[in-house]
């Protein structure tokens, strides 16, 4: 029984180090894209506060944009506000799935949009 508990404890410790356990810090560069749209977030986390910059590319006008990002992160939920020229452009919530993936959900009234981000 003791060997089983030691093995189970070791497995739990290793699983937290392989990107599958709870993510304590989301600092870094995250990119989400699909055919018509791409968004890159450069995030810095201090405690539960998140800030950073971002840029996007799209087929719509304007085709590129730069953002200032503020928000919060408490595993697994991240909430971000993107502003450009002192105007709120986007607010979204997301779920950090593992150390390398986050899913953004953005509500648009009667429909919502999701985008998966990958840490670079």
* Encoded tokens for 115: 């985008």
Q: Taking the CB of residue 117, how many other CB atoms lie within 10 A of it?
A: 24
Domain 22-119, CATH number (from 2.40.128.20, 1.10.1040.10, 3.40.190.10, 3.30.1300.10): 2.40.128.20
pLDDT of residue 111: 83
pLDDT digits (tens, 9 = 90+) for 48-81: 999 999 999 988 777 889 999 999 999 999 999 9
Buried b (16+ CB within 10 A) or exposed e, 45-63: beeeebebebebeeeeeee
Its pTM stands at 0.78
Cβ-contact 26, 102 below 8 angstroms: yes
Residues whose CB is less than 8 angstroms from the CB of residue 41 and which lie 6 or more positions away in sequence, other chains included: 29, 30, 31, 52, 53, 54, 69, 80, 117
């Amino acid at each position: 029984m003791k060997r089983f508990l030691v093995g189970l404890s070791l497995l739990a410790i290793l699983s937290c180090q392989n990107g599958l356990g709870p993510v304590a810090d989301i600092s870094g560069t995250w990119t989400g894209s699909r055919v018509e749209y791409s968004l890159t977030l450069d995030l810095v986390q201090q405690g539960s506060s998140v800030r950073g910059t971002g840029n996007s590319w799209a087929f719509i006008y304007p085709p590129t944009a730069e953002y200032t990002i503020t928000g919060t992160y408490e595993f697994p939920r991240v909430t971000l506000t993107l502003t450009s020229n002192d105007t709120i452009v986007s607010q979204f919530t997301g779920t950090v799935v593992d150390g390398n993936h986050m899913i953004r959900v953005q509500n648009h009234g009667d429909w919502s949009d999701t985008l998966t981000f990958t840490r670079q």
